Structure 1
Amino acid sequence: MTRWIAILVICSTILGGCGEKTYNPRDIIRETDICEICNMSIVHHEYAGQIVLTNGDYKIFDDIGCLMDYLALNGEDEIGAAYIKNKANNEWIDVYKATYVYNAGYWTPMNYGVLAFATKDEAQEWMTNEGEGQLLAYQDLLTFNWGIHK
């Protein structure tokens, strides 16, 4: 009987490890993190982005434009998750679910002028308070003209 209990415990442990893996964002380390694309220090962490690869490695970016550049160069095959800072509250949000606002007059570290928000309502409120912009979804970013805007 003890033998069957031991087998059951081992099987439960093995099967428990087969669950879906989670990929959580990590804090920006100001002293050492640099953007994967432009090699700039992450000075303005409120605009930062990050990709968590399926192998557990992190790729850090100083601007959503750099993150999108990385995706264009490397594809999405080995990506477990991607995060960007919410301009409304400085919290990490899912890149794929975020609402974006573009305005050439919005300042960002690489001057792309694209800000991220968790919801469309947050984005609308920002535009009401800070100046008009163009609402974008993640799919729009795939074909966005990512040249530096002035």
Structure 2
Amino acid sequence: MEDVVIETTYLQFVKEFPRRIIRAAAFVFLFLLIIACKGGNEEQLPVDFVWDRVACEECKMALSDRHYSAQVIDPNGRAYYFDDIGCAILWLKRKPWKDKARTWVNDVKTSEWIEAEKANWIYGDPQTPMGYGFAATFSPVENALDYETVQKWMVIGKTLVNENLVKHLGGSSKQPSVGEQPVFSTGEKTE
């Protein structure tokens, strides 16, 4: 009698096996379809992340300072994280989709995310993680820079880190104007 019950159970299992496989495959397919169709970050908004667990795309330093960090959101909604706006600018200039990206920065006063293009930029802040010296705020600031100027200054090397390096090497502390290439001098006379 036991043999009949075991054999019947086994036959039912074998009979239902293809149906179970089809159900499992359908479930996996639906799950993958839901994930693929799930709305991404089409609006290119800043993305939450775990501080001290995410590294800067450019310099690989952990993002710890909630006053100077930046995010670049690509056209597909993917976020890239940076500890300093200078790192973001240097990294982004090498990307073919740079003009379609949206850049967010922490407000130096409130730590809130603000769009880099809408921020008022302060130059000369020695506390920035990489020493570039640019800080963003939504608050009105006297002699504020716009984001386009910050980008240009980064590209030509008009940053606090370069200013301090030139001073350290005994060269001229004259900074280039926008559009002018920086000249670094070691203090040696050349003929």
Per the normalisation by structure 1, the TM-score is: 0.69
Give the whole-Å Cα distance in 1 for the aligned partners of 2:63 and 2:82: 7
Match of 1:22 in 2: 43
Shift of 1:146: 4.9
Shift of 1:66: 0.5
Preserved contact between residue 134 and residue 150 of structure 2 (Cα < 8 Å): no
Instruction: Mark the runs of 5 or more structure 2 residues left unpaired by the alignment.
Output: 1-41, 165-191
Shift of 1:77: 3.9
- Structure having the higher strand fraction is 1
Q: Write the letter of the residue equivalent to 2:148.
A: Q
Post-superposition Cα deviations, 1:7-55, rounded to whole Å, max 9, x if no partner, equal xxxxxxxxxxxxxx31211223124210000000112122110011122
Residue 138 (structure 2) aligned to one of 108, 118, 139: 118
Post-superposition Cα deviations, 1:90-138, rounded to whole Å, max 9, x if no partner, equal 10000111110111x521100111100113x2x34xxxxxxxxx63111
- Structure having the higher helix fraction is 2
Indicate the structure (1 or 2) with the bigger Cα radius of gyration: 2
Q: Write the letter of the residue equivalent to 2:83.
A: D
Give the whole-Å Cα distance in 2 for the aligned partners of 1:57 and 1:32: 17
Match of 1:40 in 2: 61
Match of 1:138 in 2: 147
Give the whole-Å Cα distance in 2 for the aligned partners of 1:46 and 1:138: 17
1:74 matched to 2:95? The reply is: yes
Pair 141,116 (structure 1): closer, same or farther in 2 beyond 3 Å: same
Preserved contact between residue 65 and residue 146 of structure 1 (Cα < 8 Å): no
1:106 matched to 2:115? The reply is: no
Give the whole-Å Cα distance in 2 for the aligned partners of 1:83 and 1:113: 17
Preserved contact between residue 42 and residue 48 of structure 1 (Cα < 8 Å): yes
Provide the alpha-carbon RMSD of the alignment: 1.9
Give the whole-Å Cα distance in 2 for the aligned partners of 1:142 and 1:59: 17
Shift of 1:73: 1.7
Shift of 1:71: 2.0
Q: Write the letter of the residue equivalent to 1:113.
A: G
For the residue of structure 1 that corresponds to 2:67, the secondary structure is: helix
Preserved contact between residue 121 and residue 144 of structure 2 (Cα < 8 Å): yes
Determine what percentage of the aligned residue pairs are the same residue. Answer: 27
Shift of 1:142: 2.4
Shift of 1:56: 2.1
1:84 matched to 2:93? The reply is: no
- State how many pairs are aligned: 117
Pair 49,113 (structure 1): closer, same or farther in 2 beyond 3 Å: same
Match of 2:9 in 1: none
1:93 matched to 2:114? The reply is: yes
Instruction: Mark the runs of 5 or more structure 1 residues left unpaired by the alignment.
Output: 1-20, 125-133
Per the normalisation by structure 2, the TM-score is: 0.56
Q: Which has the higher contact order (CA 8 A, sep 6+)?
A: 1
Give the whole-Å Cα distance in 1 for the aligned partners of 2:65 and 2:45: 21
